[in-house]
Amino acid sequence: MNLDAGSTLWQKAVKTIELNKRQEHILQIVKEHGPITGEHIADMLHLTRATLRPDLAILTMSGFLEARPRVGYFYTGKTGVQLLADKLNKLKVKEFQSIPVVIHENVSVYDAICTMFLEDVGTLFVVNKSAALVGILSRKDLLRASMGKQELSAIPVHIIMTRMPNITVCEREDLIMDVAKNLIEKQIDALPVVKKTENGLEVIGRVTKTNMTKLLVSLSENEIL
């Protein structure tokens, strides 16, 4: 899934936090009278239970209310910011990952530099002949190799790359916030999204600092805070 699709998912996820007048009213009633049954809330609002059901579902799903069987609804006391943090902490890599750029380990440093320019990325993932992840190349790795007097088209990238098992990876189902922490702690720009296969780790995506910045912008565009 590309980032645009991810943004739409994200917008859907946060939209539930914007409450309409009736939902605000329900919240107020539960704050004052909770725990309270759905029927009781409906009576107080002079509405049917069926009319209220979607609003109660939204308030429960977004974490403002909790429902206990045979007890009723009660107010969780969570603020908008806490609910937003809850949502952020549930977002998964698969909703935000973008497409990886992969090269073979025997490609020359010169060709890797060309690929980096042509593909307009800052990190290349290096694979062996079984398409398994064996290394990673950053801009600085390539710059460093270019500082010597060697012939760049004669050096294969596997000589200069950061290699397995020292590569920090993530999987589609991992939490995006864990990836963000890894990017900060390890001081790196990107993580490959991998899938385990019998040959090793197949690279199926990437998460970069740009993905994180886009997440922040889509958050602000929803004007949640």
Query: Footprint of ligand ADP on this chain (CB under 6 A)?
Result: 123, 136-141, 162, 166-168, 187-191
With respect to ligand ADP, which residue has the nearer C-beta, 91 or 169? 169
**Contact 191/182 with Cβ under 8 angstroms?**
yes
What is each CA distance from 152 to 1, 34, 114, 125, 137, in whole angstroms?
Answer: 35, 71, 11, 18, 15
| Cβ at position 209, least distance to ligand ADP in Å | 9
* H or E element that contains 65: strand 65-68
With respect to ligand ADP, which residue has the nearer C-beta, 138 or 210? 138
| Cβ at position 189, least distance to ligand ADP in Å | 3
CA angle 9–218–79, rounded 5-degree value: 85
What's the rounded Cα separation, in Å, for the pair 66 and 160?
A: 54
**Contact 51/42 with Cβ under 8 angstroms?**
yes
With respect to ligand ADP, which residue has the nearer C-beta, 62 or 115? 115
**Contact 181/103 with Cβ under 8 angstroms?**
no
Measured over the CA atoms of residue 124, residue 125, residue 126 and residue 130, the dihedral's sign is: negative
With respect to ligand ADP, which residue has the nearer C-beta, 187 or 220? 187
With respect to ligand ADP, which residue has the nearer C-beta, 166 or 220? 166
What's the rounded Cα separation, in Å, for the pair 220 and 150?
A: 48
Residue 130, token pair as written in the block: 């079984």
